[in-house]
Amino acid sequence: MKGHVVSLAGKSVIVTGAGSRIGARVAECAARSGAHLTLTGRRAAPLQVLAERLGTPVHRVCADLAAPDAGERIVMAAVDRFGRVDAVVNSAWLAGIAPFDASDPAMFDGMFAVNVRGPAELVRCALPWLRAERGAVVNVTSSGAGTAPAGRSFHLASTAALNSLTRSLARELAPDVRVNAVLPGPKGVGRTGRVTGLDGVRHLRGTVGPGAAHDRSGAVDAVARLVCFLLDPEQSGWITGTLIPVDGGWPA
């Protein structure tokens, strides 16, 4: 990507989880590249703060991806404001942390609703516009999906499901829509989405094992730049169905 300028000028981009760390950084990167943004999240205040500092047209939608109508609400808001949808970035997630025998169906259902069903439904609702614009989808998941730390079985199962969905949709929606996933490392995920159970973030960071070969605390900027690169058809028009780790070599 070095030496090449990513351009999203005039493109309508939906970013979920925009009130959290990676989602906000993706929005900032896309704004610098000229995108028109529909920012979504559960909390109004972080979305407002982010929108006020972005120098690009922005629309905000408060929505919980677990809600059955969230995908349609978000897509129609973007279409009403910008007339089109060129790209979807799914960066919202929920991590429930608990021993398997202390977990319950509500935790399982909640994580799969936010981490799998919500992104799938958002893409389905946006599909007519994505096809018309030969658009792109980027799912932000986790490189931890290939590991097995204690207390995270449901979370990582939902992450693996979204990774699998990424590859399946890349095949099914080709050649009209490109679908890829970016997999941040564990050093950064604790400040990306919602973490519940067992002292949340501290436990999450304590279960990821040895550090990365290059420890840069998740390299959030690198994640955001890669996401925007994958949205630009001039730079990445031949890339689809890929799962790209950005984890500093963890686990190496």
> What is the structure's pLDDT at 95?
84
> What is the structure's pLDDT at 97?
80
Confidence of residue 3 (pLDDT cuts 50, 70, 90): low
d(CA 196, CA 186): 16
Q: pLDDT digits over 135-183, tens only?
A: 999 999 988 766 666 667 888 889 999 999 999 999 999 999 999 999 9
Specify the range with the lowest mean pLDDT, choosing from 5-9, 157-161, 188-192.
188-192
pTM of the model: 0.88
Encoded amino acid at 197, one letter = G
Q: pLDDT digits over 39-83, tens only?
A: 999 999 999 999 999 988 999 999 999 999 999 999 999 999 999
The answer on pLDDT for 86 being more than 90 is yes
119 near 64, Cβ under 8 Å? no
List CB contacts of 110: < 8 A, sequence separation 6 or more.
66, 94, 96
> What is the structure's pLDDT at 5?
87
Q: pLDDT digits over 95-114, tens only?
A: 878 788 888 888 889 999 99
> What is the structure's pLDDT at 148?
61
Q: Domain locations in the chain?
A: 12-246
List CB contacts of 170: < 8 A, sequence separation 6 or more.
178, 179, 180, 240, 241, 242
The answer on pLDDT for 199 being more than 60 is no
Fold classified for 12-246: Rossmann fold (3.40.50)
What are the tokens at 220?
A: 């959030």
Mean pLDDT for the chain? 87
> What is the structure's pLDDT at 200?
46
In 3D space, the residue among 121, 97, 117 whose CA is nearest the CA of residue 107 turns out to be 97
List CB contacts of 58: < 8 A, sequence separation 6 or more.
31, 36, 37, 38, 39, 51
> What is the structure's pLDDT at 190?
43
